[in-house]
Structure 1
Amino acid sequence: MLRRDTQFDVRYVAAPKLLKVITPEELIEKGARVCAGQADFDDLILWMGTGNNYHHEQLMTLPVGGFLFQELAPQYSACGATILASPRDPEVVQPGDVIAVSPDTNVVRVVYRRGANSNLLFMTDRCNSLCLMCSQPPKEVDDRWHIDENLSLLDLIDPGSEQLGISGGEPTLYRDGLLAIIRHAAATVPEKALHILSNGRLLSDASWIADLKRLNHPNITWGIPLYADNAKDHDEVVNAPGAFAETMAGLYNLQRAGQRIEIRMVLSKLTVARLPEWAHYVFRNLPFTHHVALMGIENTGLAKKNYAALWIDPADYQIQLASAAHFLDIRGLTVSVYNLPLCVLEPTLGRFYRQSISDWKNLFIDTCQSCSAKQACAGFFKSHSTRWQSRNIHPLSPKELETLQGAPYEVA
């Protein structure tokens, strides 16, 4: 499990900037073509490795934007390019990553990780809801700078097929910026699927339909949460009166705009009792849904504050979960179960299970070490505590694992 940032000795950074970490071999083979979009040598920072001093001196004559050392030799300190050296955690930044540097801090953020299963474009800390289980409580700030950063990031990431998330906060709060990012993604990395997380409320404005129809991206999915089959319960979960009606209107507008839709349900004490009724509601009212995601709760952010209202042992809602999943599956909707340890599932749910927790967020506790399912299980969020742990956590034997059917690797 890797963090997304670490401290460096940072020198010669004049302004906030994104840089693509590249090895000398990649530079020789591809140059700036290692990036998916428009980039030049000034956008690259060269990974210096642990070569000898003469080798480093030769490399530092190259006209790149910077040089990254695991250690810093004194004779290189007068170089005019950006220098990053002596990372506190040398595992965090690796070749292929895109990093954010700033003159105001010695913290270097990884904003894109080569080979990760959870790369996303973060839009904003703002949100127009206040969900009881929000893992990242919203802030009332003007952070439109994320728009320009994401547009630059799309140019620097690796080419090739993968899924990119777009998330917040609520991305639709910056409507023009979101549309610009989707357009730029279509032009730069059309081979990459986009998965946009939104509460759908602002999409109730019908003028979105024309804007979305004009987008020329071949593969977008909108992940929209619907926490109940009725307005009272949904609005209680998201702490916003009128949200249910707005979200439903937004879903219908997405359908009119020809968008692919995923309905998301976070499983908690407030939502699981009516899961079968909720599944019926989704099928009757949103039959155009492409995917239904049934998700365990992430025990961080506001979820900690609202523990008493939210926590229910997953062992106690397996009947309702199985009823909802099988009901939707039989009727042709694709269903996935996310963010729960495999050992707590009712066995027939194994075919819906996804190893979903992002690679930089997940962990396995001591009980898991002898489990036969570690390679297939999502494990726990790094925020895990025994307070949020099911009584049914146990190592699965090979025979128990045989009763569960595997499923493709996906990210929640």
Structure 2
Amino acid sequence: MLRRETQFEIQNLAGPRLLKVITASELIEKGTAVCAGHATFDDLALWLEAHELRDHPGLAALPVGAFLCPDQDSPDLPKAVLQLRAPKDPQVVRPGDVIALTPTSNLVRVLYRRGANSNLLFITDRCNSLCLMCSQPPKDVDDRWHIEENLRLIDLMDAGEENLGISGGEPTLYREGLLEILAKCKAVLPEKSTHLLSNGRLLKDPSWIAALKHLNHSRLSWGVPLYADNASDHDHVVQAPGAFSETMQGLYNLARANQVVEIRVVLNRLTTPRLPELAHFVFRNLPFARHVALMGIESTGLAKKHYEELWIDPLDYQEQLSQATYFLHNRGVPVSIYNLPLCALPAHLSCFARQSISDWKNLFIDACQSCAASSLCAGFFKSHTDRWQSRGIRPLSTEEFTRYARSAS
């Protein structure tokens, strides 16, 4: 489980900075071309271990933006240069990362991690819904500064084919900034598939159709939550009257704009009773949906406040989950089960289960340590507690692992 931030001893930081961490060998091989977009040497933080400077003292004269010294035994460097020394957790920042620094703090945030399955452009803390299970409760703030930070972050990422997420809050609240970010993703990161999470409500405005058609980003997809086959249930979950109608209009506008659409359903006590009906609704009313994700709940944020209303043991909705999954699958709609451990699923559903939890917040509890199937399993969110634990959690035997593996293949 990887963290996204740690403390450093920071010297000579004059203002906010975004920096790409790079080793000397990569600097020699690629230079600023290690970054996908426009970058100068001032955008690079040289990863400099103590022995490297002893062996090659000329490295200290390189005109990079900063020197990052991961050892507790830090080398002597020119006093005027930006220096990051002695990280509290040496495992957090690694070569290839893009890091953010602010003068008011010694905390270094990792905004991009090379090779991670969870790289994300975070657009805003604001949202026009208040979902009962929201893992990151919205804030009423003006945080447009995220737009400029993300535009610069895109330049400093690796080119590569890693997937990239865009999320909030609700990204469409900053429409023009979001469209600018999407255009830059297309131009600078054309090999990356970009998946944008949105509640879809503001997409009811038909002007989005022309804007998205003009953008013409072929590797962009949208993940839009739909929690019920009717307005009253959906609107209650998102705590926003009229949201169901707005989301449906937004989904149809995405289809008119030739966008790739995924429907996302968080599984809880409110959404699972009519899960088969929701599957029917999606098939009949959203035939353009390319994928349906049925997702275990993350036990953090507002979900903790609404535990009694939301919690249901996955063992108690297996029938509804099976009906919905096979209804969609048998009609050619790709469907996946996210965020649920294999031991909480019947073996016949394991072929739909995905290792979906972001690496930096993925957890395997004590019961997983002797499980034969852990290599195939999603595990848990790091926020997991016994209160949210299924009574079905247990290590699977080798025989059971074989059965699950056969089903998954």
TM-score calculated relative to the size of structure 1: 0.97
Moved more, 51-60 or 72-81: 72-81
**Alignment-derived partner of residue 217 in structure 1:** 217
Q: Is the 8 A contact 2:74 2:85 kept in 1?
A: no
Q: Is the 8 A contact 1:134 1:303 kept in 2?
A: yes
Q: What CA deviation, in whole Å up to 9, does each residue of 1:285-322 have, x standing for no partner?
A: 00110000000000000000000000000000011001
d(CA) in 2 for partners of 1:371, 1:56? 48
Amino acid at match of 2:143: D
User: How much has 1:50 moved relative to structure 2?
Assistant: 3.6
d(CA) in 1 for partners of 2:95, 2:390? 39
**Alignment-derived partner of residue 347 in structure 1:** 347
**Alignment-derived partner of residue 22 in structure 2:** 22
Q: Is the 8 A contact 1:48 1:56 kept in 2?
A: no
Q: What CA deviation, in whole Å up to 9, does each residue of 1:151-198 have, x standing for no partner?
A: 111111111111100000000000001000000011101110000000
User: How much has 1:73 moved relative to structure 2?
Assistant: 6.3
Q: Is the 8 A contact 1:353 1:406 kept in 2?
A: no
Amino acid at match of 2:306: N
**Alignment-derived partner of residue 398 in structure 2:** 398
User: How much has 1:347 moved relative to structure 2?
Assistant: 1.5
Amino acid at match of 1:391: R
Q: Is the 8 A contact 2:362 2:380 kept in 1?
A: yes
d(CA) in 2 for partners of 1:225, 1:8? 39
Amino acid at match of 2:111: V
**Alignment-derived partner of residue 238 in structure 1:** 238
Q: Given the alignment of the two structures, is residue 201 of structure 1 paired with residue 171 of structure 2, yes or no?
A: no
Q: Given the alignment of the two structures, is residue 373 of structure 1 paired with residue 380 of structure 2, yes or no?
A: no
RMSD: 1.4
d(CA) in 2 for partners of 1:243, 1:328? 24
**Alignment-derived partner of residue 185 in structure 1:** 185
d(CA) in 2 for partners of 1:224, 1:230? 16
**Alignment-derived partner of residue 68 in structure 1:** 68
**Alignment-derived partner of residue 32 in structure 2:** 32
Q: How many residues align?
A: 408
User: How much has 1:77 moved relative to structure 2?
Assistant: 5.8
User: How much has 1:74 moved relative to structure 2?
Assistant: 7.9
Give the unaligned 5+ runs of structure 2: none
User: How much has 1:12 moved relative to structure 2?
Assistant: 1.3
- Secondary structure at 1:96's aligned position in 2? coil
User: How much has 1:82 moved relative to structure 2?
Assistant: 1.3
- Secondary structure at 1:261's aligned position in 2? strand
Q: Given the alignment of the two structures, is residue 117 of structure 1 paired with residue 120 of structure 2, yes or no?
A: no
% same residue = 65
**Alignment-derived partner of residue 159 in structure 1:** 159
**Alignment-derived partner of residue 138 in structure 1:** 138
The 3 A distance-change label for structure 1 pair 403 and 123 is: same
d(CA) in 2 for partners of 1:97, 1:193? 19
The 3 A distance-change label for structure 1 pair 379 and 406 is: farther
User: How much has 1:81 moved relative to structure 2?
Assistant: 2.3
**Alignment-derived partner of residue 389 in structure 1:** 389
**Alignment-derived partner of residue 281 in structure 1:** 281
d(CA) in 1 for partners of 2:126, 2:24? 40
**Alignment-derived partner of residue 55 in structure 1:** 55
Give the unaligned 5+ runs of structure 1: none
d(CA) in 2 for partners of 1:395, 1:184? 46
Q: Is the 8 A contact 1:357 1:380 kept in 2?
A: yes
User: How much has 1:80 moved relative to structure 2?
Assistant: 2.3
User: How much has 1:72 moved relative to structure 2?
Assistant: 6.4
d(CA) in 2 for partners of 1:186, 1:53? 39
The 3 A distance-change label for structure 1 pair 73 and 389 is: closer
- Secondary structure at 2:359's aligned position in 1? coil
- Secondary structure at 2:325's aligned position in 1? helix
Amino acid at match of 1:279: A
The 3 A distance-change label for structure 1 pair 332 and 53 is: closer
The 3 A distance-change label for structure 1 pair 322 and 352 is: same
The 3 A distance-change label for structure 1 pair 130 and 45 is: same
Q: Is the 8 A contact 2:195 2:220 kept in 1?
A: yes
d(CA) in 2 for partners of 1:279, 1:77? 62
